[in-house]
Structure 1
Amino acid sequence: MKKIFVIALGIILFSLNLKAQENFDKWPALGNFHTVISQTFHPAEEGNLSPVKKRAGELLKKAVLLHKSDIPAEFSRPGIIPAVHKLYLESAALDKLIKRKSDDKLILAQLKQVHDCFHTIVGICSDKKD
């Protein structure tokens, strides 16, 4: 029974990953942001904040480009514009914390906010239209 659950969970996660990749292909600015957030967030989860400290400016630039990009029509849903704007604001706040050499706990908490905003956008893009 446990093996079936693990296999089913794997299939679900794989299909979600495929859907997210489709979204990144359709909205390149979102995919570009994803590249940097994944390369900074996952090391931070393991206690390594060096990547995010080095790349916070790059993350902010990707957020600005995403904010300025045209939203593909199929992703133009309620909540997408405020979510993209919030991602920009949270990325700017993260960059500011790092430039001020703030405490690592504050930086990690802010990075989690950026990551959560990103996943909100991906979730909106992945929702099926009624």
Structure 2
Amino acid sequence: MDQCIRESYFTYIVSVAEQKHFGSFASIGPWQLLIPYARSDIMKNYLNARIQPLLEKQDFYETVPLTICRGDIFKTASLLNCHHNTVRYRLSKIKQFLFADEMSNQEFYADISLAVRLYMLQE
């Protein structure tokens, strides 16, 4: 019973964070791993290293919805009312700003996506 209530609560938290309805705990994907540890010191340090610098530069942080759009640059450009090349340019600048130049684009998207999800849980 305890696990059932916990899973329902976690599903609710993810639904609020993503502003999207999830029908079951199984459907929340990687959130299953993040939620139990979201408030740990290690996760807070990780979050601060990735998101805090972006919050200082508004145009950078506005570009981060790319991760929420599951890597769809065109959808992100539409959300931001800008050209898709503008999104690509900002992402390259964000990578430089976060000293993540040595990461591949896929690694960077995964990294920033994780940080954004943790930030969404904190909010």
Query: Which structure's residues are more often helix, by fraction?
Result: 1
Q: Aligning the two structures, in what range does the TM-score lie when normalised by the shorter sequence?
A: 0.3 to 0.5
TM-score, structure 2 normalization: 0.40
